[in-house]
Amino acid sequence: MIPSYFEFYNPVKIMAGKNALDNLPFELMQLQAKKPLVITDQGILKAGILKSVKKAFSETDITFSLFDRVPQDSSDKIVKELANIYRETKSDSLIALGGGSVIDTAKAVNILITHESDNLLDFVGSDIINLPLKPLIIIPTTSGTGSEATGVAVIKNSINNIKMGFSSQHIIPDVALLDPRMTLTLPPLLTAATGMDALTHAMESSYCSQRNPVTTAFAFSAIKMISEHLVQVIKQPKDSDARFALSTAAFLAGVRLSNSLAGMVHSLGHATGGVCGLPHGIAMNIFLPHGLKYNLAKAGDLIGELLLPLAGSEFFTQVPKVDRPVATIKYIESLRDNLYDLVNLPRSLKEANVPKSEFETIAQYAINDGSIAFNPEEVDYEDALHVLNEAYN
Amino acid sequence: MSVSTYQVISPGRKRGKRAIIKTALFILGRSMQSASRFDKKIQQELESWPENFTIVYKAFPKGPMMTLCKNNNKLKRCKPGEEDPDMIIYLKNLEYAFLLMTSRRSSVEAFLEHGAFLKGDLSIALSLIRILNRV
């Protein structure tokens, strides 16, 4: 089914595979940059991942500045501090080494430094940035957010703690370096949660209202790779081929997400994260089957088609077309059970210790989250509350 | 002296469509203003908006526009061209604004099809869409 109108844009150069990181100096040269500011967090530092980046710059004339204190929930305060560091050090480009928070922080810093501004609030909104930003290279260290491929950044407002959204084609990074070495040390629980995040990006935007044929091709590849490799990576964390497959899948899902936004699963996840601090990947794991069930009436056929990349052609052909939507949900539920047995990844709000007393606030936040507009079925406050109660047990 | 081989073409005008959009925006603004006085659901939506919040609804780049502000939990049409609004919703071009104002596209479809873009808080834009759906 082709929509009457759609757009697709993804200019990210992907450097993916073994030793991809070693191309970093060359890519900087291509972008006419030689004084990058590297942005990362303490977790990356402790995991020793920075060493590989330092090695990549050996035997070059590139010196870089380093900021390694991006918190898990980055704010406009950090962004402003980093913009000042960028100016002080006379840097000419940005490298983000980390997960979603680090990447989004680097994107927001890029907005400020390009516009020579100190006020991030001036740029909140969609498509209001209308000039090319400074060179930005992303080295993801998780396989989930796909932020290395998206034109979206989310940053907390340090005054009212509300998450601010920035969306523009100019925010999309120039280069994404997907090197399996970067995710080898990711702990199993985090691997499972970020993997389910990527799977949700791919699945949800495949049946939500902004889907289009180009992004569906990306999504099917992503779903297939995650389905084939997620459990394998958790059982064998040092399997670099499987890790690489997950990183690639997360990137593909990110491209997909950037061009056809997700729906209520993301809205509920963002809201539960904002109110109770529930990590995004865990929230996706909890809400995904509930989002699928809620949309069965309007998007059942599309949900049924996802069984093919999820379960493979042999299984798919054995299930009658009419039963495929429900079979897709059952497949996801069994994957969640498997991950729970392996790493205790919570499957319900109860298992994740989200109190019922917060449901009303979460429902209110969820219906004001941007993704809700792209859900096939309309979701009002009562509907959101109902789904939260369903997801509790 | 060389003979000129090119022409300079100035942009044309779409006066008819412009007039229709302007009229539709006027009617929409008045309807929203009236509905916000009586409709409980709209008033519930407005409770979460900051007082004196100002929204400009405009066809990009120089099309007709409408300005609304929140006063005492009601919507009020303000003078067009309000300085420094809290939110601007741009309809990407006059043709898209025409489709929207003649009900051939919904507000949600405008975002789905990238027909609108936004400067400001997305959560209030979603609240505005819910209000528009009731009017």
Query: What average pLDDT score do residues B70-88 get?
Result: 85
Structure tokens at A235: 């059982």
Domain A188-390: CATH superfamily, name plus number: Dehydroquinate synthase-like - alpha domain (1.20.1090.10)
The fold adopted by the segment(s) A13-182 is: Rossmann fold (3.40.50)
**Confidence check: pLDDT of A126 > 90:** no
Instruction: State whether B129 and A125 contact (CB < 8 Å).
Output: no
CATH 3.30.230.10 fits B15-134, yes or no: no
Interface test with B, best of A4, A5, A162, A382 (most B CBs within 10 A): A5
Q: State which residue of chain A sits closest to B108, comparing Cα positions.
A: A373
**Confidence check: pLDDT of A160 > 80:** no
pLDDT value at residue A350: 97
Q: Domain residues of chain B, as ranges?
A: 15-134
**CB-based contacts of A333: which residues, under 8 Å, 6+ apart?**
A289
Q: A269 phi and psi, to 5 degrees?
A: -65, -45
- B126 → closest Cβ in A3, A6, A373: A373
Q: Which pLDDT band, with edges at 50, 70 and 90, does B27 fall under?
A: very high
Range name among A66-70, A283-287, A296-300, B59-63 with the lowest pLDDT average: B59-63
pLDDT value at residue A375: 95
Residues of chain A found within 8 Å of residue B131, distances taken between Cβ atoms: none
More confident residue, A386 or B123: A386
Residues of chain A found within 8 Å of residue B114, distances taken between Cβ atoms: 7, 127
Structure tokens at A158: 């340090």
Q: Which pLDDT band, with edges at 50, 70 and 90, does B122 fall under?
A: confident
Instruction: State whether A373 and B129 contact (CB < 8 Å).
Output: yes
Query: What average pLDDT score do residues A4-12 get?
Result: 92
Min Cα separation A266/chain B (Å): 14
Instruction: State whether A373 and B114 contact (CB < 8 Å).
Output: no
With an 8 Å Cβ cutoff, the interface of chain B facing chain A consists of 48, 108, 111-114, 117-124, 126-127, 129
pLDDT value at residue A205: 86
Percent share of chain A, pLDDT over 70:
100
> Residue A173 to residues A110, A152, A168, A257: CA-CA distances in angstroms?
10, 10, 11, 15
Instruction: State whether A127 and B117 contact (CB < 8 Å).
Output: yes
Query: What average pLDDT score do residues B55-78 get?
Result: 91
Percent share of chain A, pLDDT over 90:
86
Q: State which residue of chain B sits closest to A4, comparing Cα positions.
A: B113
Query: What average pLDDT score do residues A143-161 get?
Result: 89
Q: What is the pLDDT of residues A265-320, one digit of tens each?
A: 999 998 998 899 899 999 999 999 999 999 999 999 999 999 999 999 999 999 99
pLDDT value at residue B81: 63
Instruction: State whether A6 and B117 contact (CB < 8 Å).
Output: no
**Confidence check: pLDDT of B133 > 90:** no
Q: Compute the distance between CA of residue A392 and CA of residue A170 in angstroms, rounded to an integer.
A: 39
DSSP one-letter string for B78-121 = --TT-SS-SEEEEESSHHHHHHHHTTSS-HHHHHHTT-EEEES-
